[in-house]
Amino acid sequence: MSPAPHHQNGEKWSQDVTEHSNAMDLEDGVFEKDDPHQIALSLKRSAEHSHRRKAEPFQSAMSMLNFYINRAGHNLPAGRKQTLEDAKDELRKVFGRESET
């Protein structure tokens, strides 16, 4: 098993995911926004315009949001985590999927 790749120039993993993800192209700073609705709209735009995603837009956007939350883990301040969790609900709304969990 080879060691995990390290990031040059001190890149954070979140920056690396945002810039080099094979799932979809994300807006710079999308996960740092303070408004859950704006995060959801940005992810929706990215998912709908991506030619690299493998799933349908809603699933791709939700997967990227979940991946970011899970990868950040305990490093996420409680307020930031709540904003991102709220963005999941907003994502369901902007895709018309309020009844899905």
| Per-residue pLDDT tens over the stretch 29-74 | 999 999 999 999 999 999 999 877 778 999 999 999 999 999 998 8
Residue 82 lies in a domain: yes
Indicate the number of domains in the chain. Answer: 1
Residue pair 76/69 in contact by the 8 Å Cβ criterion: yes
Residue 5 lies in a domain: no
Instruction: Take residue 54 and report the two structure tokens written for it.
Output: 């493998």
Residue 99 lies in a domain: no
Read out DSSP for 41-67? Answer: HHHHHHHHH-SS-SS-HHHHHHHHHHH
Residue pair 95/57 in contact by the 8 Å Cβ criterion: yes
Residue 30 lies in a domain: yes
Residue 3 lies in a domain: no
Mean pLDDT of 83-97: 97
Residue 85 lies in a domain: yes
Instruction: Take residue 35 and report the two structure tokens written for it.
Output: 């408004």
Residue 15 lies in a domain: no
Boundaries of domain holding 83:
26-94
Higher pLDDT, 49 or 25: 49
Cα 39 from Cα 32, distance rounded (Å): 8
Residue 7 lies in a domain: no
**Model pTM?**
0.74
